[in-house]
Amino acid sequence: MSKTIAWTNEAKTNLRAIDQPTALRILHALARLLAIGEGDVKRLQDIEPPEFRLRVGDYRVRYDDLGDTLQISNSRPARSASSTKSTPPSTKPTSAASPTSSRK
Protein backbone atom coordinates (compact mmCIF):
# COMPACT_ATOMS: atom_id res chain seq x y z
CA MET A 1 0.00 0.00 0.00
CA SER A 2 1.46 3.36 -1.00
CA LYS A 3 1.36 6.52 1.04
CA THR A 4 -0.51 9.65 0.05
CA ILE A 5 0.19 13.31 0.73
CA ALA A 6 -2.29 15.59 2.48
CA TRP A 7 -1.63 19.33 2.65
CA THR A 8 -2.79 21.78 5.29
CA ASN A 9 -4.10 25.10 3.97
CA GLU A 10 -1.03 26.87 5.36
CA ALA A 11 1.31 24.46 3.58
CA LYS A 12 -0.56 24.94 0.28
CA THR A 13 -0.39 28.71 0.65
CA ASN A 14 3.35 28.60 1.44
CA LEU A 15 4.09 26.33 -1.53
CA ARG A 16 2.20 28.61 -3.93
CA ALA A 17 4.24 31.60 -2.69
CA ILE A 18 7.54 29.92 -3.60
CA ASP A 19 9.07 30.41 -7.06
CA GLN A 20 8.08 27.64 -9.47
CA PRO A 21 11.49 25.90 -9.86
CA THR A 22 11.91 25.64 -6.09
CA ALA A 23 8.32 24.47 -5.58
CA LEU A 24 8.91 21.75 -8.17
CA ARG A 25 12.11 20.68 -6.36
CA ILE A 26 10.07 20.36 -3.15
CA LEU A 27 7.40 18.29 -4.92
CA HIS A 28 10.04 16.04 -6.51
CA ALA A 29 11.74 15.55 -3.12
CA LEU A 30 8.40 14.55 -1.57
CA ALA A 31 7.74 12.13 -4.44
CA ARG A 32 11.20 10.61 -3.95
CA LEU A 33 10.56 10.29 -0.21
CA LEU A 34 7.31 8.43 -0.91
CA ALA A 35 8.74 6.25 -3.69
CA ILE A 36 12.01 5.07 -2.18
CA GLY A 37 12.14 6.57 1.30
CA GLU A 38 15.16 8.75 0.57
CA GLY A 39 15.64 12.36 1.49
CA ASP A 40 17.30 14.64 4.03
CA VAL A 41 14.81 13.83 6.81
CA LYS A 42 15.19 14.57 10.49
CA ARG A 43 12.82 13.77 13.35
CA LEU A 44 12.16 16.96 15.31
CA GLN A 45 12.97 16.64 18.98
CA ASP A 46 10.59 17.20 21.89
CA ILE A 47 7.48 17.15 19.69
CA GLU A 48 4.74 14.62 20.35
CA PRO A 49 3.30 13.11 18.29
CA PRO A 50 6.53 12.87 16.26
CA GLU A 51 7.00 15.43 13.52
CA PHE A 52 9.60 15.37 10.77
CA ARG A 53 11.28 17.83 8.47
CA LEU A 54 12.48 17.26 4.93
CA ARG A 55 15.28 19.54 3.84
CA VAL A 56 15.16 20.66 0.20
CA GLY A 57 17.90 23.18 -0.50
CA ASP A 58 17.18 26.27 1.58
CA TYR A 59 13.64 25.08 2.38
CA ARG A 60 12.28 22.89 5.15
CA VAL A 61 9.07 20.90 4.77
CA ARG A 62 7.51 19.89 8.09
CA TYR A 63 5.22 16.88 8.13
CA ASP A 64 3.59 14.21 10.26
CA ASP A 65 3.82 10.57 9.22
CA LEU A 66 0.33 9.17 9.85
CA GLY A 67 1.08 5.69 8.53
CA ASP A 68 -0.56 5.72 5.11
CA THR A 69 -0.47 9.53 4.78
CA LEU A 70 2.15 12.26 5.07
CA GLN A 71 0.41 15.34 6.46
CA ILE A 72 2.40 18.34 5.19
CA SER A 73 2.06 21.15 7.69
CA ASN A 74 4.52 23.72 6.39
CA SER A 75 7.09 24.55 3.72
CA ARG A 76 9.29 27.56 4.43
CA PRO A 77 12.80 28.83 3.98
CA ALA A 78 15.16 27.44 6.61
CA ARG A 79 15.51 30.70 8.52
CA SER A 80 11.77 31.30 8.98
CA ALA A 81 11.08 27.59 9.56
CA SER A 82 13.43 27.55 12.52
CA SER A 83 12.07 30.83 13.88
CA THR A 84 8.63 29.24 14.36
CA LYS A 85 10.10 26.98 17.01
CA SER A 86 9.98 28.51 20.45
CA THR A 87 13.39 29.21 21.90
CA PRO A 88 14.13 29.53 25.59
CA PRO A 89 15.16 32.96 26.81
CA SER A 90 18.87 33.60 26.80
CA THR A 91 20.65 32.73 30.02
CA LYS A 92 23.70 34.71 29.04
CA PRO A 93 24.16 37.56 31.50
CA THR A 94 23.93 40.99 30.03
CA SER A 95 27.03 43.04 30.54
CA ALA A 96 26.82 46.51 31.99
CA ALA A 97 27.85 49.35 29.75
CA SER A 98 31.62 49.58 29.70
CA PRO A 99 33.04 52.74 31.19
CA THR A 100 34.05 55.27 28.61
CA SER A 101 37.60 56.45 28.49
CA SER A 102 38.18 59.89 29.89
CA ARG A 103 38.55 62.67 27.40
CA LYS A 104 41.71 64.66 27.21
Q: What is the pTM of this model?
A: 0.72
Cα 71 from Cα 63, distance rounded (Å): 5
Query: What size, in residues, is the chain?
Result: 104
Per domain, the residue ranges of the chain are 4-83
Local structure of residue 85 (DSSP, 8 states): S
Cα 24 from Cα 29, distance rounded (Å): 8
Averaged pLDDT, 3-7:
93
Residue type, 73: S
pLDDT at 81: 58
CB 45, CB 32: distance < 8 Å: no
Tens of pLDDT along 71-84?
999 988 987 655 54
What CATH superfamily is the domain 4-83? RelE-like (3.30.2310.20)
Tens of pLDDT along 51-66?
999 999 999 999 999 9
